[in-house]
Structure 1
Amino acid sequence: MANRSDNIVAEEARAIEVGEETGATGGRRRDTWATHTGFILACVGSAVGMANIWLFPYRVAQLGGAAFLIPYLIFVALLGFTGVIGEMSFGRAMGTGPMGAFGKAMEMRGVRNGDRIGKIIGLVPTLGSLALAIGYAVVLGWACHYLFSALTGELMAQTDTGAFFGAMASDFGNVTFHLLGLAVTFGIMILGVSRGIEKANRVLMPTFFVLFVIIAIRVAMLPGAEAGYMYLLVPRWEALLNPTTWVYALGQAFFSLSLAGCGTLVYGSYLKKDVDVVDAAKNVAIFDTIAGLVAACVVVPAVFAFGLDVSSGPPLLFITLAQVFQEMPFGGIFAIILFVAVVFAAITSLMNLFEAPVEALQGQLGLSRVVSVGIVAVAAVAVGLFIENGSAVSDWMDVISIYVIPVGAFLAAVMFFWVCPAGFAKQQAELGRAKPLGKWFNFMTRYVFVGITAVVIVLGIFYGGIG
């Protein structure tokens, strides 16, 4: 029986590879990543975003300082070596995004009308990615506005940064910069995967890290910054006895690694067979964590140095840090550096979110890249302009992140680890590796990871969001 099962898996894999030779669009060859490094940087870019810059420092400071890192790193390792590997491998195995991948998985299972049913189910992560991107684009618009204001000196001249942000985050209060952020993002995406997304990430991601290190060095020189380092780095062990610490550590790791059954899966679909996805997943987890730690070493000490509130939540970036730079010597220069980095992080994440619906239009309807990007752009503008109000976009993002994104990750996990034939997922994850994966992989992916995604759905609803 074991040999028969292995033969079935091998035959299905060969059939998928033959189908990929002409591409998912039936005639046009699919774009692929030009280099392994480019793929990793693109995945890092998708993972590194606003959550690393304001939410991670806030969580660390709020929930036990360095003690928070223990559950966080446990979950990053657990999710990275199961979920991230799984979504990359699933996309590469099927050579298409969630709609096509779910359809192929259902066909492999032998379900009647499986392709159609799978594609309908695949709409959940695809539309979830589009909806999240629409809300995220509003935040990119805010970052673009702040960068422009820092460049002109307007930001440093504000007497009330709260009022400045409030006027911007109002109904139709930031249309110009909102559209500018979208234009830059879609302009890169039109060029394609290797010539657009990959090349942009190869520049934006290294620059992001360099800029944040520069700011971290400057913050370390501020009088009073040491109190922030103490608060951030000295572990408060009692926090580990609080279940909330573990819940939010799980949420931070889950959402920061971009587990949603869409973006990482789509990026994996452009991946060549000789790439080691296990190594790629490891690098994504490492650099995503480094980004969060560097941001924490900027935000928390800077806020402490000027006696401001480290627990101010989302306004930490746009209100509290703006006040910090106003009071800091040469603050205008460092405000520019910060918001350049923030814009870069937002663009790289946004490209990943928009790529799922763009790929779906190309793969399922056979549309060109330009037309597909154009349709998604129209949808982003038509909806996004009406949720520019801070409360509206916050509610929008909460609904999508609580009820849709974890469900997408759960569906992708079930499709790859349960619907596809037994052993298929492990075989696909081992492509490009010198050493095979151990027996742990099947148990950890089929039971532990799928179970964790279900838990994230329940906890998100119970807590009103955990990431």
Structure 2
Amino acid sequence: MERERFGSRLGFILISAGCAIGLGNVWRFPYITGEYGGAAFLVMYLVFLVILGLPIMVMEFAVGRGSQRSIARAFNVLEPAGTHWHKYKWVGIVGCYLLMMFYTTVAGWMLAYVPKFASGQFVGADTAATSAAFDAMLASPVECVFWMALVCVVSILVCSLGVQKGVERITKVMMIALLAILGVLVIRSLTLPGAGEGVAFYLLPDFSKIFGSPDTFFEAAYAAMGQAFFTLSIGMGSMTIFGSYIDKHRSLMGEAATIGVLDTGVALATGLIIFPACFAFGVAPDSGPGLVFITLPSVFEQMWGGQVWGTLFFVFMSFAALSTVIAVFEGILRFSMDEWGWSRKRAVTVNLIAIPLLSLPCALGFNVLSDVVMPGVGDIQTVEDFLVSSNIMPLGSLVYVLFCVSKGGWGWKRFLAEANEGDGLKFPVWLRPWMRFGVPVLVIIILIMGWVPIVSSWL
């Protein structure tokens, strides 16, 4: 069977960016930035993105393009005989399923808020009213399960159409629409009276906010490193599959840089919607995870035409979430196609049943199963998020890095040859010591720091 391909370079860039541009940018990034003091955290995040996130993304792309396989068979094709790198594929695919088990629920929340805003449910609502509306949605098992299931069905049906006709064609439209809506919302937010204070908070660094104490600095550094991983969707094989779908006309460093700029640009622009609006209406920018669902609806309702702006914002959020879900679903489908030789139709049928069922615990974790908690971590969604973001993503990134730099793996020379084939920006040869020693140390720190507060709470 001939391997499916992307129809264009633009398709590859927008789909890879769509996988990276998700809730990490438009939900997680703004509230973390607000919690850690705005611009000072932003600078730290950008540093880790460049020295940590992008090089690992190049390595994951290279493994995919070099093997022409998904994570299911990529290591088998490239690894030296007798080695066991390929066993990581089971961790990677578990990570993809775990991500979907909570991501589909949160994506469902985004989707649910589009008709809520469009129908005028939030007209005249203050923060207390928007908080009550959000709590009511979470408390309804029917509502949570319905929107989660809708996300699953829509995304898998897109993937059922194939790479070019489904994933590429539809994701390109969503991403272009996402960028257009984003531009409109940024302009609206920046033209609000008093928006300048929010822009200053967001873009003028005050390093005393993160260097105030060693504890504050390390917390901010850990959050910045974790965000660099989460936002690029690296370490679980999502980027391996897209690497396997592209040709060798362009170097991978240049492509990763383009995707990184798009991904970071959307994250930065989302902040330019949220922080000026918060300051313009006297709302705290460090409202935590509730920033999007509780704080912002009340902010939009204070604007002229708030019903329209709020609806547009959640359409944008829904596109960002769905682009990631579609991308990860494609990786899940391709895994079974590569590993067991399934047809796309069979893979779609099995996962159309499996993924909604696996997602039920999270959708019910805020109502029927709200008493199910892990000590030191939290509810079902928080546990699933922790397993993916703080464990599988960094662990997978470590595997990809060691595989590409060590003689017992694919090796530096083979990686470099694959990464630098084609026109465009080349992966620097002199980065080898950093990739061999510096990056693994940082990744191990991320893994350890993720467990420190949990273990401390158990003792």
Same fold (TM over 0.5): yes
Residue number in structure 2 paired with 1:365: 340
Among residues 383, 394, 408, which one is paired with 2:382 in the alignment? Answer: 394
Residue number in structure 2 paired with 1:181: 151
Q: CA deviation at 1:302?
A: 1.0
Contact persistence 2:193–2:280 (CA under 8 A): yes
Q: CA deviation at 1:443?
A: 2.7
After TM superposition, the structure 1 stretch with the greater mean CA deviation from structure 2, 240-249 or 127-136, is 240-249
1:333 alignment partner AA: V
SS at match of 1:169: helix
How big is the alpha-carbon RMSD for the aligned residues of Structure 1 and Structure 2? 2.1
SS at match of 1:174: helix
Residue number in structure 1 paired with 2:132: 163
Q: Report the CA distance shift for 1:342/1:436 in structure 2 as closer, same or farther (over 3 A).
A: closer
User: Which consecutive residues of structure 1, in runs of 5 or more, have no partner in the other structure?
Assistant: 1-27
Q: Which runs of 4+ in 1 moved over 6 A?
A: none
User: Which consecutive residues of structure 2, in runs of 5 or more, have no partner in the other structure?
Assistant: 212-216, 367-378
1:139 alignment partner AA: V
Q: Does 1:461 align with 2:428?
A: no
Q: Report the CA distance shift for 1:103/1:174 in structure 2 as closer, same or farther (over 3 A).
A: same
Contact persistence 1:146–1:155 (CA under 8 A): no
Q: Does 1:123 align with 2:90?
A: yes
Q: CA deviation at 1:454?
A: 2.3
Q: Residues 185-215 of structure 1, C-alpha deviation per residue, up to 9 Å, x if partnerless?
A: 1121111122211112221112212211211
* TM-score normalized with structure 2 length: 0.89
The separation in 1 between residues aligned to 2:28 and 2:110, in whole angstroms, is: 16
Residue number in structure 1 paired with 2:241: 266
Residue number in structure 1 paired with 2:30: 57
SS at match of 1:266: helix
Residue number in structure 1 paired with 2:114: 147
Residue number in structure 1 paired with 2:206: 236
The separation in 2 between residues aligned to 1:255 and 1:440, in whole angstroms, is: 26
Contact persistence 1:417–1:445 (CA under 8 A): yes
Q: CA deviation at 1:317?
A: 0.6
Q: What aligned pairs does 1:16-95 form with structure 2 within 5 A after superposition?
A: 28-95=1-68
Contact persistence 2:35–2:287 (CA under 8 A): no
Q: Does 1:99 align with 2:72?
A: yes
- How many residues were matched structurally? 432
Q: CA deviation at 1:332?
A: 0.5
Among residues 215, 221, 237, which one is paired with 1:246 in the alignment? Answer: 221
Q: What aligned pairs does 1:186-225 form with structure 2 within 5 A after superposition?
A: 186-225=156-195
Residue number in structure 1 paired with 2:436: 446
* TM-score normalized with structure 1 length: 0.87
The separation in 2 between residues aligned to 1:252 and 1:173, in whole angstroms, is: 30
The separation in 1 between residues aligned to 2:271 and 2:170, in whole angstroms, is: 25
Q: Residues 160-188 of structure 1, C-alpha deviation per residue, up to 9 Å, x if partnerless?
A: 11121112123444222222222221121
Residue number in structure 2 paired with 1:428: 418
1:212 alignment partner AA: L
The separation in 2 between residues aligned to 1:310 and 1:73, in whole angstroms, is: 20
Residue number in structure 2 paired with 1:6: none
The separation in 2 between residues aligned to 1:250 and 1:380, in whole angstroms, is: 29
1:120 alignment partner AA: K
Q: CA deviation at 1:141?
A: 0.8
Q: Report the CA distance shift for 1:451/1:376 in structure 2 as closer, same or farther (over 3 A).
A: farther
Residue number in structure 1 paired with 2:310: 335
Q: Residues 59-107 of structure 1, C-alpha deviation per residue, up to 9 Å, x if partnerless?
A: 333324322232222211113441111110111101111121122233x
Q: Report the CA distance shift for 1:342/1:81 in structure 2 as closer, same or farther (over 3 A).
A: closer
Q: CA deviation at 1:451?
A: 3.1
Q: CA deviation at 1:246?
A: 2.3
After TM superposition, the structure 1 stretch with the greater mean CA deviation from structure 2, 278-287 or 156-165, is 156-165
SS at match of 2:292: helix
The separation in 1 between residues aligned to 2:415 and 2:251, in whole angstroms, is: 14
1:342 alignment partner AA: M
Q: Residues 135-163 of structure 1, C-alpha deviation per residue, up to 9 Å, x if partnerless?
A: 10001111111011122222336561112
Q: CA deviation at 1:260?
A: 1.6
SS at match of 1:442: helix
